[in-house]
Structure 1
Amino acid sequence: AQREKKASKDQGQATREPGSLAQLSKKDGKDLLDLFMETTQDREELLIVVLNFLIAGRDTTAQLLSWFFYEMMAHPEHLDGIRRELTEVLGECPEEGYRLPYDRIRDLPYTFACITEALRLHPSVAKNVKQCVKDTLLVPSAPNPSNLPPIQMYKGEMAGWSDWVMARLPEVWGDDCEEYRPSRFLHSKSGDSDGLGGTRQYSQWQQHMFNGGPRLCLGMNLANFEALSIVAAMVPLFDVHWARADQGQTASFPPKYLSSITLPMEPFQVEFRRRAR
């Protein structure tokens, strides 16, 4: 019985042998699985880690896309810019829509800015709280226009913040902070909001939708790619409209937030109408 138990445990280990998890994940550079395998070789633990990684990114990315399409219904003038950029970068749209290659993400600054601005106003994790495990001095990071002094926190105290509130603070994002303005995430060579200069990045502590520092979201690049892929697949083919009452609409515009760990919307109906080609 002891030998059977040991054999079962050995089979649960991911070893660096041909056909093992380690061998399958080995490639140029390290992926997420490689990093976790430096901590544990237990298949069961690694399975849980990977599932958590994928599931945690499901609701947040779905909510980002819901808020993005809401902003497109409220500001449809941006859809033409997205379609124009996709055509310039990827060519004419095929019947089934674009299948975005990962290496073309950086070539879509305007589309990415439209998504990022939706995420700024509607962060998927709108609020968070942490407990201090040891005495800590919190030093305010830029931007700090109010010249706030460092804050002494003591073990056991709670620190909370809200990225939803931060997005609506003029001292953080300017007087137009409550407006949906994708151009704030664009560098422009011409002075217009055309994105010719590429994507504009801010400090992690200002553009804080994916947290920052050692707590930066592990799934950030995957979430951005998923959102861009869906937008690239759907926006060229469909117009999106707020559904009418006779189409089953029960919500009012704009939709309401729901209370959750993340930031979902109340259920509502939209109509995706295929565009003439």
Structure 2
Amino acid sequence: MSNAIKTVQNFAGGIIEERVRTAQAKKADEASKSVQPTHEGGSIAKLAKKDGKDLLDLFLETTQDREELMTIVLNFLIAGRDTTAQLLSWFFYEMIAHPEHLDEIRKELTEVLGDCPAEGYRLPYDQMRDLPYTFACITEALRLHPSVPKNAKRCMKDTLLVPSGPNPTKLPPVQVYKGEMVGWSDWVMARLPEVWGPDCEEYKPSRFLEEEVDSATGVKRRTVRQYSQWQQHMFNGGPRLCLGMNLANYEALSLVAAVVPLFDFHWATAEQGQTVNWPPTYVSSLTHPMESYKVEFRRRAQQ
């Protein structure tokens, strides 16, 4: 275990040192910019070509403490990998169970991104919100199969929890005292009629869709329906909202856009090596992985 921890820390430490040096070089270049001419091959020109900032860039603007940065990077690497992969596993399971959604996803991708190239779509980040139906299908899979199905926090001060919101429960207020643990389960919340209605156990992407009318043209368009963070709680909420939420959504959308238009897929048979009975279920873990099932992919004819 100690060797494994050391390997992970060395890997993360290498990322941090490289980025700290880059940040320091950028500051030095900016400081000398007013007194030294730049040239096309210089470091300033190279740095200027980098568009935008990632999360580590933003944290480097507030601290260069190696221990703090180590914690941040390890969170990126550990919390941001398996959780997105698990989401995609559950998404493809739901598509196998509900294939009627696939043609609508493909239609939306074509309308937004044009004809599908032979290698699949490469989704631009700024078009992520232009795919409400695809986004709704992914989000509904995440609602029913949250990557972090249960969690808990320790109360830092005496607190009275009072049910509130548009549909408050009929439970009485609950007194929580400093030092006590408060636990919750997003998996259970997804299956509570008080939270999601009588159809809460159904896979129903339409719950994340609504129509709005363009005030200028009067044209109706489909958009993503927004819920409170405390109802749509798969990424937590408030100051504890997942820092990687947009990245995870983009990764999932990008893979769906790359794969679904090009392939038909079906539950593999026992003859094809399937070892899992339908429907697959989850396995015990801190997160929410599922049994390792096999799927047959067949490339679709060019449409």
TM-score range, shorter chain: 0.7 to 0.9
Q: CA deviation at 1:34?
A: 4.2
Mapped to 1, the partners of 2:138 and 2:51 lie a distance apart of: 30
- 1:222 aligned to which of 247, 259, 271: 247
Please, which runs of 5 or more residues in structure 2 have no aligned partner? 1-16, 31-46, 214-219
What's 2:80 paired with?
Answer: 57
What's 2:131 paired with?
Answer: 108
Does residue 253 (structure 1) correspond to residue 278 (structure 2)? The answer is: yes
- 1:268 aligned to which of 293, 297, 300: 293
Is contact 1:143–1:172 with CA below 8 Å preserved after alignment? no
The verdict on how the C-alpha distance between 1:73 and 1:13 changes in structure 2, with shifts beyond 3 A counting, is: closer
1:209 partner amino acid: M
SS at match of 1:187: strand
- 1:97 aligned to which of 107, 110, 120: 120
Is contact 2:163–2:169 with CA below 8 Å preserved after alignment? no
- 2:155 aligned to which of 101, 107, 132: 132
Q: CA deviation at 1:38?
A: 4.7
Mapped to 2, the partners of 1:270 and 1:59 lie a distance apart of: 19
Q: What is the TM-score when the length of structure 2 is the normalising length?
A: 0.79
More displaced, 55-64 or 32-41?
Answer: 32-41
Q: What is the TM-score when the length of structure 1 is the normalising length?
A: 0.86
Mapped to 2, the partners of 1:48 and 1:146 lie a distance apart of: 38
Q: CA deviation at 1:203?
A: 0.3
The verdict on how the C-alpha distance between 1:58 and 1:20 changes in structure 2, with shifts beyond 3 A counting, is: farther
Q: Percent identity?
A: 76
Alignment of 1:1-277 (within 5 A): 14=20, 17-19=24-26, 31-43=54-66, 45-188=68-211, 196-277=221-302
Please, which runs of 5 or more residues in structure 1 have no aligned partner? 1-10
2:25 partner amino acid: P
The alignment's C-alpha RMSD in Å is 2.8
- Give per-residue Cα distances to partners, 1:151-179, cap 9 Å, x unaligned: 21101211111100100111111111000
Displaced runs of 4 or more, over 6 A:
20-25, 27-30
Mapped to 2, the partners of 1:55 and 1:203 lie a distance apart of: 27
Q: CA deviation at 1:58?
A: 0.5
More displaced, 124-133 or 58-67?
Answer: 124-133
Mapped to 1, the partners of 2:103 and 2:65 lie a distance apart of: 50
